[in-house]
Chains A and B, each alone.
Chain A
Amino acid sequence: MERNTILTGLILIVMISGVLLAFYLLYVRYGFKNFWLIYLLLIILMISFALRTQPKKEMLDVEKYRTVTVIKCEKCDYREERKFQRGDYIFKRVGTCKRCLGHLYIDDIYVIPPRKK
């Protein structure tokens, strides 16, 4: 694999040097009159091709989620949201309602995925 990487690097260097040399010669000979745009375009194409084949960063990232626990009262419309705590599960009873003394239970646990940039 090492050899392969070195070879790839060499090929790239040769190609880029060739393009730059051609660019320079054209500059000396024609003074940017006719072909410089074509060569510039070629260089831009090569760079963009190299960038395009880079792995996408998001593919390699580990996403961070935020988990929410929703608590409701069995009798009244009391509702509370808090961060998930280990030991939480849906329909677990988690105490009594301050408003009506009814049972509080976990109605929902869900994740909110990170916002895509």
Chain B
Amino acid sequence: MQFPWQQESWNWIINWIWLLLLLVYMFYGQRLQVSIWVRQIKRALQKLEYMVRKGKEITIKAFREVGNSDTNLVSRINDFLEFFVIEPVDRDPSGIMHKLEHLVNVRDERFESIVAELAPNVNRDKAANLENVLEAIIALNFIYRIVRHFLILGEKNKSYVLILQLQMQLPEIMKYANAYFDALKAFVDGKPIGDGAGVLSVTRLLREHGVVSEEDYEEIVKDTVIAQTEIDDRTVIVVRARGPGGTVGKPGEAIRKLFEEKKLRINRIIMIDAGIKLEGEKTGGIMEGVGAAIGGIGVDKYKIEEVATKYKVPLDAIIIKEAIEEAVSPMRREITEATRKVVERVKRIINERTKPGDIVLVAGIGNTIGIGY
């Protein structure tokens, strides 16, 4: 019998090396992989941190530009960065919409009051834009905090699963973060964003039919305006949020008021909103269906569905397709082009599905930043 080292061949060394490598990979392979993922997440976190820091600078500069020279401005904004809303209890869903509406109103008032305090000399539109700036930086900061939380938690508990989940979702998370960062800059400048597609469509419709100035609109509820025109012998009432400051208004309450308080006998409701496109679909594509085309927390949708059901009014929905990150970032050309096509689509619906003398309600849903009358 020969011992390995007595063999003439060097094969045994090679075999041992491979066995060793196999063992190392067997025991430390996963750890190696995790450390590579951790490195990726840390790089993304660095970028998020940069975005938050830069975002804060932009926010502070925006308030300074409108005359705030308060030395406490930075700390006031820092304090507000972790603002939150606790959703109402949903184990007893009866009446939850009223609770939600109340909370949304309280939240809006808090934003208004902080902007009024930090920028007392600005007009309504600029104040609305500053509120949006605060919302964007809060969203960005929230993403940063969540990513950091799960990274530290994963490292602390040596949790392969937590790190894996975070790493796999990283491209999506960064897409949202980039979008909010773009939105922040857009809000400071007052640029229209993708979410405003519905509002832009209805305003184009009105302008085609002679409604071209702010005086033609009436503020029916807070931050929500209506205007009236005639299209093919039908009375068309348009509902949208007021602009060009960044507001989404309360279209649900406005529509409820038109039915319940103004007692209008509306024959059809057409709602236009930006909607999420599926992967593989083109930005700016148009879809048509039925139902209340409105996102958000659900309060407005609930009110619209309630009155539409009560008065048995058909609801048409037109959606302008865009990715979720396109909805919060500056409006792309494909989306503005789509708004012109939507105007034609609405006119066709009015012509085909209503009769002369009917009253048609057209609601343009979305954020009105950068969109006038």
- Residue ID in chain B nearest A4 by CB atoms: B35
- Residue ID in chain B nearest A68 by CB atoms: B333
Digit string of B243-272 for contact with A (CB within 8 Å is 1, else 0)? Answer: 110000000000000000000000000000
**Contact (Cβ within 8 A) A91 B332:** no
**Contact (Cβ within 8 A) B190 A60:** no
Does B372 lie at the interface of the complex (its beta carbon under 8 Å from any beta carbon of A)?
yes
A14 to B28 alpha-carbon distance, docked (Å): 12
A60-B47, A89-B244, A91-B373 known; A5+B192 contact, CB < 8 A: no
Q: Enumerate chain B residues within 8 angstroms of A28, measured Cβ to Cβ.
A: 10
Digit string of B120-160 for contact with A (CB within 8 Å is 1, else 0)? Answer: 00000000000000000000000000000000000100000
The total of chain B residues at the interface (CB under 8 A) is: 51
Q: Enumerate chain A residues within 8 angstroms of B37, measured Cβ to Cβ.
A: 53
Task: Say what secondary structure dominates the interface of chain B.
Answer: helix
**Contact (Cβ within 8 A) B203 A53:** no
Chain A, 71-96, CB within 8 A of any chain B CB? 74, 84, 86-92
- Contact-size category for A: 35 or more
Q: Enumerate chain A residues within 8 angstroms of B212, measured Cβ to Cβ.
A: 74, 91
Q: Enumerate chain A residues within 8 angstroms of B1, measured Cβ to Cβ.
A: none
Chain B, 171-209, CB within 8 A of any chain A CB? 171, 174, 178, 181-182, 189-192, 200, 203, 207
**Contact (Cβ within 8 A) A14 B372:** no
**Contact (Cβ within 8 A) A18 B17:** yes
**Contact (Cβ within 8 A) A11 B191:** no
**Contact (Cβ within 8 A) B373 A65:** no
**Contact (Cβ within 8 A) B372 A84:** no
Q: Enumerate chain A residues within 8 angstroms of B17, measured Cβ to Cβ.
A: 18, 21-22
**Contact (Cβ within 8 A) B43 A65:** no
CB distance from B156 to the nearest CB of A (A): 10
CB distance from A106 to the nearest CB of B (A): 8
Which A residues have a C-beta under 8 Å from some C-beta of B?
1, 4-5, 7-8, 11-12, 14-15, 18-19, 21-22, 25-26, 28-29, 53-56, 59-60, 62-63, 65, 67, 74, 84, 86-92, 108-113
Which B residues have a C-beta under 8 Å from some C-beta of A?
9-10, 13-14, 17-18, 20-21, 24-25, 28, 31-32, 35-40, 43-44, 47, 51, 155, 170-171, 174, 178, 181-182, 189-192, 200, 203, 207, 212, 243-244, 329-333, 335-336, 370-373
Known: A53-B36, A60-B43; 15 extra A-B contacts, CB below 8 A, are: A7-B28, A18-B18, A53-B37, A54-B40, A60-B47, A60-B174, A67-B330, A74-B212, A89-B192, A89-B372, A91-B203, A91-B212, A91-B371, A110-B335, A111-B331
